[in-house]
Homo-oligomer: A and B are copies of this chain.
């Protein structure tokens, strides 16, 4: 058994060590070698050697009562991950491998207080009437990317965000008051994405969805905008599929745990 390697030539000791770290990371209390051996279905001596190695590497800490918790060396790696991983660069890399459908503009925005600041955009080959330049700020309540982010906050948090004043509507279809916005958000929370029809700019319909970080909190939002007259049930389905595919992929890349997402 010990000497076997599976077809992909995975290294068993590394898989087991990562498995132990996963168990320690998710356990509700601190575990002993015996308990870890039971959880992993590995011999106690194997688990003991793995734990000793992980302690020596600073990846586990042995407590005085012989239980284990995660060690600080993990933070070096996660800080380096943060330095190496930039949501804008990942967004750009994803689009380099894809075609943008229809006359769409796909943009990436970061929430900042009650606004969305756009930091990247890609356009389809065709002409378009909606342009998103990096640095553009729009009030979150009136733009699909912003609504998608706001839908992740509670009504209490949204009220507090606009405690100093609600922004001036951009079109006659924008949610004109905080109460109207809260009703819109309640509706959005039933879906995985937002549809915003001419609330930000006349003649433009946009879909928006969030990119989650490793705490499953919104880090950014992706928006796909098309001329309103092109928008139909079929286009909507196609764009929503692209949007959710992109945002799920970005979320995973940023460390979100989409499989264990709460409600």
Interface residues in chain A, defined as those with a beta carbon under 8 Å from any beta carbon in chain B: 5, 8-15, 17-18, 21-22, 24-26, 48-50, 52-54, 56-57, 59, 61, 69-81, 84-85, 214-215, 252-257
Contact = CB atoms under 8 A, between A and B. Distances in A.
Contacts of A10: 49, 52-53, 56
A26 B214 contact: no
6 contacts: A15-B57, A17-B17, A25-B81, A70-B80, A72-B254, A74-B255
A21 B59 CA distance: 12
A84 B24 CA distance: 10
Contact of A76 (B48, B75, B85, B255): B255
A14 B74 contact: no
Contacts of A253: 61, 72
7 closest Cβ pairs, A-B complex: A78-B78, A75-B214, A25-B80, A75-B255, A72-B255, A13-B13, A70-B81
Looking at chain A's contact residues, the main secondary structure is helix
Given A70-B81, A76-B257, A78-B74, A11 B22 contact: no
Nearest to A30: B84
A257 B74 CA distance: 12
B9 A49 contact: yes
Contacts of A61: 253
